[in-house]
Amino acid sequence: MKKLFILVVLAAFGLSTALYAQSSKKQTVTIKTNACSSKSDEIFKEIIPFLKGVSSYEFCEHSGNLTVTYNPKKTDEATIRKAIAKLGFDADDVKGDPVARKKLPQECLTPVKKGSCKHSCGEH
């Protein structure tokens, strides 16, 4: 009886993985944000990969660029941008939520003065 149960669980797990693999034709999008420093990544880490349809992301703290891999059947670029904006960050042309922005630690946002966060990922 127990063995049967284990088999059923394993089968269900295998099946769901197979289905998942089949349906996921993934796309990536690079979104320009005003996030800066690893502090912002600490926030993204808890939110971005858990958005519906998002499987992974990369954040470049020098450019503020977020490269998000997602399943287009489950979500789209606009939804992802909105989710980023909800955290208080600007995402391309979507302005960050002003209430959330106030609560962000200072170092999460690009300093207004010229300087850091202007070159793209991969160059360093």
CA 23 to chain centroid, in Å, comes to 20
Enumerate residues 6+ apart whose C-beta is below 8 A from 63.
32, 117, 118, 119, 120, 121
Candidate ranges 24-32, 34-42, 71-79, 91-99; the one touching another protein (CB under 8 A): 34-42
Spatial CB neighbours of 86, under 8 Å, sequence gap ≥ 6: 97, 100
Alpha helices in the chain (DSSP H): 2-23, 38-47, 77-86, 98-103
Instruction: Provide, rounded to whole angstroms, the least separation between the CB of residue 100 and another protein.
Output: 9
How far is 104 from 88, CA to CA, in rounded Å? 7
Taking the complex as a whole, how short is the minimal distance between the CB of residue 39 and another protein, in angstroms?
8
Whole-number Å distance between alpha carbons of 53 and 68 = 10
**Interaction pattern, residues 36-65, with another protein; x per rule: CB under 8 A:** -xx---xx-xxx-xxx----x----xx---
Site for another protein in 61-120 (CB under 8 A): 61-62, 103-108, 111, 115-116, 118-119
Query: Given the complex with another protein, which of 90 and 93 has the nearer CB atom?
Result: 90
Cβ nearer to another protein, comparing 79 with 93: 79
For binding to another protein (CB under 8 A), which residues are involved? 37-38, 42-43, 45-47, 49-51, 56, 61-62, 103-108, 111, 115-116, 118-119, 123-124
